[in-house]
Each structure stands twice: as C-alpha cells, then as structure tokens.
Amino acid sequence: MQESPFKGKTGLRRLMNALGYSLQGMGSALRHEEAFRQEALLALVLVPTAFVVHVEAVARALMISSVVLVLVVELLNSAVEAAVDRISLENHRLAKRAKDIGSAAVFLSLINVAVVWALILFG
C-alpha cells in the first residue's frame, strides 16, 4: 500500500499547513452549510452567556464544551455529506443511511447541549 503524496510535510511546516486546511474547512462550512451557520450563531450567543452566568469553572467548561461539540459534529456530518455527494448524487439507500446517521449525531449533540445547560442552570 502506498502512502499519500500529501503526507510528506513534517514539523512546523506540517502544523502550518494543518492550520491553513482547518481554516479553509471552517470557511467552507460557513459559506456552504446553513446548519453550521445556524449552530455557529447559537455558539456566538451561548459561549458568552456561559461567562455571564454565575457557575463554577467546571460547569462553565461543560457548558462551553457541549456547544463546541455541536460544531464539531456538524463539521463531521457536513464532511460525510460532501463525500457521499462527491461519489454520486443519485438516491441510494446507503447514501441516505450515511446522511441520516450524520444528522442523528448532530441531533444528539444538540440534545446534549439542552441537557447540560438545563442541569447546570436549573439543577
């Protein structure tokens, strides 16, 4: 098995490339994914709110990490959807299953936000 020709960079150059690819991915998600934009707006409201409410540092960390988890899961879901669409745009039960499972993961991460915030704020 042959390694990818894109795997040749090491050290600081690899880190700089990885940062660039990550920023391109975030930009792409913001430009092309409505769900990611909506969840990013939610994060722009909830993360500062977590700093305003009077809770312990660990609770604040849980509140923020639950919101960040939604963004991470949405990025992964969008990547799965893009890869599936790249392979074929035809309706196929496995493509539908992949997309539905990704959507379910986003849904569970949003439920997680609601549960974490409710438990912390309302005990």
Q: Please give the positions annotated as active site.
A: 74
Q: Where are the beta strands (DSSP E) in 4-110?
A: none
Q: Who's near 60: CB < 8 A, 6+ residues apart?
A: 50, 51, 53
Between CA 66 and CA 117 the distance in angstroms is 9
Tokens of 107: 């849904």
Determine if residue 11 is left, alpha or beta; phi over 0 gives left, psi from -120 to 50 gives alpha, anything else beta: left
